[in-house]
């Protein structure tokens, strides 16, 4: 007897009746969505409307050139250009204050040259002629800044003072770095003689958007990675409630949407970074902490997160150390954390990076902020990004492969005489199916020790006769991160006896 899906059993009309069943051939790759959450300056898209984009230019056209979203898109696409990218735009909060800073120019110039002004890590060059007065130079600075529409600020000048104002209101504008000669004399950047430019850092930005708007807009759409520009406790708590493992969370059993979030956090020193991340404890959030990087913090968050995401999508279990992060300027040498400082950060829930040749920023270790179990004891079970990325791959495979292989099956106890062609499953049949899937995971390099897995795997029938219960105990693949070697040298090997 064969169980059919569409051919009725009561046909008496002669003929050949054939149905097509794709369940045995089900499978295939799917794009994993990346979500950018940030503030827009345009009114073209209603706040909270998920919108797909394919480039940083599209982000500028849709959400405003130089907006937070545009700058994040620049960092994102520089590191994951083929991502399926979506944006949930937020408007500035009502009554939000815009951050502002000043550049006060003194002169006149006694030689010709160039001013090298960095705004959020982006270079603005201003030509200076010998004899230019301070007001002339200030007006030239204003014009150069306003000419670059991709910058996250606008400029205005009065006499010799240039005021730069963030395009988006809120606290993140306070972190738009404005400085001169970031590369220094060794990089060929010096202020022309006779000219002085005193910079007052951006400040005064206040009141960020309501995070619940972004959370509500996510709905039941699945996002593999969320690029999140708000690393402070209150917005992260809101995001954490959405991502958590409870029944209502994205990692909960009823929603099964999974995903992870990526942030960047700038502070005055390593101690301030570790104080912040040590106060967090969320396995679904990664925070890269740093000092001295001129790239704007939301843009850095998008760049770090997308560099890691691109690697995890290729192989969720593979290490990602030494992955370059494009678009993030390396901090000055004196601001780079030592090995001791970075090791402390890795114990305090902060992801770390190093600076390689040619000052290329590289991922060192993408840890989560999770550090303690529910009893407050140290717990490293969710330390690295690969753990939950691999678990997500396994959970997703169990769900999709089960639904494909057994779309409308009957359930019986072990020992039921299942004949070929019957849509009947038993606990033993399903256990064999899962062991088969485990061999696929093994071939993918996600897990190891299939024989032990088969021994520990448990599939039983529930008191609800329509339900199977399974204990799934995968042995996750580990990563080769460290080599410890003892070099016990000889001046002369002992003579053999």
Q: Span 241-264, mean pLDDT?
A: 96
The Cα 295–Cα 327 span in angstroms is: 8
Cα angle 432, 436, 438; round to 5: 115
With H, G, I as helix, E, B as strand and everything else as coil, classify residue 119: strand
Domains for the chain: give ranges and CATH numbers: 33-91+210-386 (3.40.50), 100-203 (3.90.1160), 415-497 (no CATH)
The Cα 303–Cα 36 span in angstroms is: 11
Specify whether the CB–CB gap between 158 and 164 falls below 8 A.
no
pLDDT of res. 22? 67
pLDDT of res. 25? 62
Q: Span 83-100, mean pLDDT?
A: 98
Q: Span 225-251, mean pLDDT?
A: 96
pLDDT in tens, 16-56: 887 877 666 655 567 899 999 999 999 999 999 999 999 99
Instruction: Tell whether the model's pLDDT for residue 81 goes beyond 70.
Output: yes
The Cα 428–Cα 430 span in angstroms is: 5
Cis previous bond, 108, omega within 30: yes
Q: Span 327-354, mean pLDDT?
A: 98
Specify whether the CB–CB gap between 283 and 444 falls below 8 A.
no
**Cβ within 8 Å of residue 75, ≥6 positions away:** 295, 299, 300, 301, 302, 303, 306, 327, 328
**Cβ within 8 Å of residue 99, ≥6 positions away:** 165, 166, 171, 173, 174, 176, 202, 203, 204, 205
Mean per-residue pLDDT over the chain, rounded: 95
pLDDT of res. 350? 98
pLDDT of res. 11? 85
Confidence of residue 496 (pLDDT cuts 50, 70, 90): confident
pLDDT of res. 50? 98
Q: What is the DSSP letter of 374?
A: T
pLDDT in tens, 162-177: 999 999 999 999 999 9
Report which of residues 22 and 396 the model is more confident about. 396
CA distances from 482 to 134, 319, 325, 364 (A): 56, 11, 21, 12
Report which of residues 122 and 14 the model is more confident about. 122
The Cα 195–Cα 14 span in angstroms is: 97
The Cα 105–Cα 293 span in angstroms is: 24
Q: What is the DSSP letter of 453?
A: H
Cα angle 318, 322, 324; round to 5: 110
Q: Span 370-378, mean pLDDT?
A: 97
pLDDT in tens, 109-152: 999 999 999 999 999 999 999 999 999 999 999 999 999 999 99
Confidence of residue 1 (pLDDT cuts 50, 70, 90): low
pLDDT of res. 495? 85
Q: Within 56-133, where are the H helices? A: 56-63, 68-79
Confidence of residue 419 (pLDDT cuts 50, 70, 90): confident
Burial of 331 (0-12, 13-18, 19+ CB in 10 A): buried
Instruction: Calculate what percentage of the chain has a pLDDT beyond 70.
Output: 98
pLDDT of res. 497? 55
Complete edge-to-edge strand list for the sheet that includes strand 178-180: 122-128, 113-119, 178-180
Q: CB 395: neighbour CB atoms within 10 A?
A: 16
Q: Span 242-259, mean pLDDT?
A: 95
Confidence of residue 204 (pLDDT cuts 50, 70, 90): very high
């Amino acid at each position: 007897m064969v169980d059919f899906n569409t051919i009725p059993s009561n046909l008496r009309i002669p003929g050949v009746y054939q149905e097509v069943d794709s369940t045995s051939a089900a499978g295939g790759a799917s794009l994993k969505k990346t979500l950018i959450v940030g503030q827009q300056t345009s009114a073209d898209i209603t706040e909270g409307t998920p919108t797909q984009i394919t480039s940083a230019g599209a982000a500028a056209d849709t959400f405003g050139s130089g907006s937070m979203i545009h700058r994040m898109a620049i960092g994102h696409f520089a590191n994951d250009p083929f991502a399926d990218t979506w944006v949930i735009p937020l408007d500035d909060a009502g009554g939000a204050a815009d951050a502002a800073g000043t550049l006060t120019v003194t002169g006149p110039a006694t030689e010709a040259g160039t001013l090298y002004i960095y705004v959020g890590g982006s270079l603005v060059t201003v030509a200076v002629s010998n004899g230019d007065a301070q007001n002339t130079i200030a007006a030239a600075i204003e014009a150069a800044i306003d000419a670059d529409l991709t910058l996250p600020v606008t400029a205005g000048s009065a006499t010799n003072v240039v005021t730069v104002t963030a395009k988006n209101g809120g606290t993140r504008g306070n972190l738009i770095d404005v400085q001169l000669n970031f590369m220094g004399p060794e990089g060929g950047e010096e202020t022309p003689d006779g000219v002085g430019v005193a910079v007052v850092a951006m400040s005064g930005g206040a009141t960020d958007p309501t995070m619940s708007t972004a959370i509500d807009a996510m709905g039941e759409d699945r996002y593999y990675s969320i690029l999140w520009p708000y690393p402070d406790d209150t917005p992260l708590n809101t995001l954490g409630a959405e991502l958590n493992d409870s029944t209502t969370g994205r990692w909960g059993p009823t929603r099964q949407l999974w995903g992870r979030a990526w942030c960047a956090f700038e502070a005055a020193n390593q101690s301030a970074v570790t104080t912040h991340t040590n106060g967090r404890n969320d396995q679904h959030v990664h925070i890269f902490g740093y000092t001295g990087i001129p790239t704007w913090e939301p843009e850095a968050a998008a760049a770090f997160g997308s560099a890691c995401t691109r690697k995890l999508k290729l192989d969720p279990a593979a290490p990602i150390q030494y992955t370059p992060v494009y678009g993030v300027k390396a901090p000055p040498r004196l601001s780079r954390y030592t090995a001791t400082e970075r090791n402390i950060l890795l114990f305090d829930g902060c992801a770390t990076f190093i600076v390689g040749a040619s000052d290329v920023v590289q991922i060192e270790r993408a840890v989560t902020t999770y550090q303690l179990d529910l009893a407050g004891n140290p717990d490293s079970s969710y330390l690295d990004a690969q753990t939950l990325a691999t678990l997500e791959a396994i959970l997703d495979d169990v769900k999709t492969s089960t639904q494909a292989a057994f779309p409308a099956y009957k359930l019986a106890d072990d020992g039921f005489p299942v004949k070929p062609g019957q849509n009947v499953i038993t606990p033993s049949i399903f256990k064999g199916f899962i062991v088969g899937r485990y061999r696929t995971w093994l071939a993918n390099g996600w897990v190891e020790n299939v024989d032990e897995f088969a021994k520990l795997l448990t599939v039983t029938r529930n008191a609800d006769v329509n339900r199977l219960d399974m204990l799934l105990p995968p042995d996750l693949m580990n990563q080769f991160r460290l080599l410890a070697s003892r070099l016990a040298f000889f001046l002369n090997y002992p003579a053999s006896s």
